[in-house]
Structure 1
C-alpha cells in the first residue's frame, strides 16, 4: 500500500487536509499541503494544518525508511515536537523531511532491532510552493515500538 493511501485510511484528517505525497527519492519525502482546505481568516495556511503537515512528513519519512530497511513491524508515534513559523504561507505548501545523519539512522535501527523500541529526532520544514526559504521549521521526536 502506498503512503498516501495508508495516511488517508489510518489518519482520516489527512484526507480533509488534502495532503498528498509528492515525492519520495534519495531519502527525501515531500508532502503537498494545499491552501484551499487549510485557509484561515488571514487567507494564509492555518498554523494547525502546518503543524500536522510537519509531523506527518516526519512520520511518513520514518515509515518509508523503515520499509526500505526491511522493517515491516512496529508502531510509529510522535513523542515530542517543536515548531517555528518564521513566515506566513499564502499558497500551497510542501512539507519536507530529509534523512538524518547516517550514523544516527544506523543507531536507531540497531536499537530497534535489539530492544523492540527506539526513538529518533527528525527535522522537517515547509516551504510555500515556488519558494525556497522555509516558512515552518519543525523538530520531532518519533518513537517506534512493538
Structure 2
C-alpha cells in the first residue's frame, strides 16, 4: 500500500466511521485507478452473500475516494465532495471478499470538470465504478454516480 492509499484509508475511517465497521481497506491507487477491498465476513447477509447496502456503499465510496485523491493530486483542496445521484445494478451475487474499482474518466471530461469548478466553485462529475468477486474480473455490481464538488 502506497502513501496515498494509507492517507485515503485514514480519511475514510475517520470521516466516515461506517467504513471501519465494513472492514473496508484501500488496496491501491495506481495510474488514476482506485481499488478498495470489502470483506464478505463483515458485510454478509442472510443468504451468505454480500449485503446490497454494503455493496452500494462500496460503489459510492470508491468513486468518492477516487475523486478525493485525484483532486489532491491536482492541488484542489478547498472543496467538499458529495454524491448527488447514483444508479446501481447487481448482475451477480458477491460470494467472497470483493474489490471495488474506479477508473478515471477521459482526460477531456476531467479537464472540463476542473475548469468548471475553478470558474464557478461548483462542478459535477459522473464516475463509473464496479465491484467484482476476488479472483474474478466479471462485474457483480455496476454503479454510475454523479458527484458534486462545491466550495
For 1:7, what is the secondary structure of its paired residue? helix
Structure 1 portions without partners, runs of 5+: none
For 1:136, what is the secondary structure of its paired residue? strand
Deviation string 1:38-90 (CA, Å, 9 cap, x unpaired) is: 00000000000000000000000000000111111110000000000000000
CA–CA separation in structure 2 for the residues paired with 1:5 and 1:83: 26
Matched residue, 1:15: 20
Moved over 4 A (4+): none
Structure 2 portions without partners, runs of 5+: 1-5
Matched residue, 1:116: 121
Match of 1:85 among 74, 86, 90: 90
For 1:52, what is the secondary structure of its paired residue? helix
Deviation of residue 116 (structure 1)? 0.6
Deviation of residue 93 (structure 1)? 0.2
Matched residue, 1:96: 101
Matched residue, 2:67: 62
Q: TM-score, normalised by structure 1?
A: 0.99
CA–CA separation in structure 2 for the residues paired with 1:123 and 1:132: 16
CA–CA separation in structure 2 for the residues paired with 1:87 and 1:73: 38
CA–CA separation in structure 1 for the residues paired with 2:45 and 2:105: 32
